[in-house]
Amino acid sequence: MKRRDLVRGIACTVFPLGAAAQETGFPSRGLRLMVPYSPGGGGDILGRVFAAKLADVLGQQVVVENRGGAGGMVGTEVVVKSQADGYTLVLTNLALLAISPNMVKKPLYDGLKDLTPIAGIAQSVNILSASLDAPFSNARELVAYAKANPDKLSYASSGIGSFGHLSGEILRATAGARMVHVPFKTSALAFPDVIGGRVTMVFDSVSSTIAHVRSGKVKPIAVMAERRSALLPNVPTFSEEGFPEVTLRFWSAIHGPAGIPAPIVQRLSDAILKVVSASDFKERLASLGQDATFMSARELDELARGDFTKFARAIKAAGIELE
């Protein structure tokens, strides 16, 4: 059996917390959490909130290190090359493992082989909202109009290859809705054009969109999730509207270098479950527009692989030139 295959297998094996702790004595010193983004952003805030809580649970210091670059791949490569002892971890997400690697010809590493999945910690929901004068009010009407009027509708995102851009490509590819992509530097800059009717609609997170919905400046169309958002319970999912393939979760998780022993993976996973289940952690993430959501190593690995394939197809369909 190849070493990497063995890693993936043992990472998903269940070990009792007590047995794991007794066998490894882990952790006996502080941990390092790599946040592969610049300080001050959403990823950095999430990483620091998580690190503080994990330190409480483990009884050891968890030091956050920021190292941005290449969509998060620079900092993650540092972890890939670190010793596989569980003391060096990295905050990952859907963009880092499923989008960025598909946007370059030669990725710095293979995130599905060179990292050990440990646990998922958070998810956020993307929503499609439209200008008030858009010629549709729900996803079915949108698709019908787009099919009857190819390239008449436009959708904004925070840039080529962004989560919002590829959300639109997935809708286009799965529902046959031909639309024009209008990239902006940030999704916040897109909303004035959507509100003014110069762009038909925009894909963005619920947390970034909700103020515009509540003020009546845009109309919500559908959320890209398995279930409705608690923040906007009256907005249906794309699945409810007849498009189950248009479902995505922007997840954040914890990985380590390939080869971390299974008992240590389980020790970390058990500790992370306690973090994610804590009411104060849930409340803090809710204030950031995210849901504290635990995923086991096996669930995380399966989700990352599925999303990698889904975005590889979307990027190819979009004709995005790889860097």
User: What is the mean pLDDT of each successive set of 10 residues along the chain, which is 323 residues long?
Assistant: 44 42 76 92 91 97 92 92 97 91 87 96 92 96 94 91 86 86 89 96 88 95 89 92 87 97 97 97 88 95 92 82 71
HSE of 207 in the Cβ direction (CA atoms, 13 Å)? 12
Q: In the predicted model, what is the mean pLDDT of the chain? A: 88
Domains of the chain (ranges; CATH) run 3-123+249-318 (3.40.190.150), 126-223 (3.40.190.10)
Burial grade of 202 (CB within 10 A; 0-12, 13-18, 19 or more): buried
Strand order in the sheet with 218-223: 179-183, 153-157, 201-205, 126-131, 218-223
Please report the pLDDT score of residue 277 as a whole number.
Answer: 97
Please report the pLDDT score of residue 4 as a whole number.
Answer: 45
Give CA–CA dist 251/241, Å, rounded: 23
Please report the pLDDT score of residue 323 as a whole number.
Answer: 67
To which residue do tokens 């043992």 refer?
A: 10
Grouping H, G, I as helix, E, B as strand and the rest as coil, residue 297 is helix
Please report the pLDDT score of residue 84 as a whole number.
Answer: 97
Please report the pLDDT score of residue 9 as a whole number.
Answer: 45
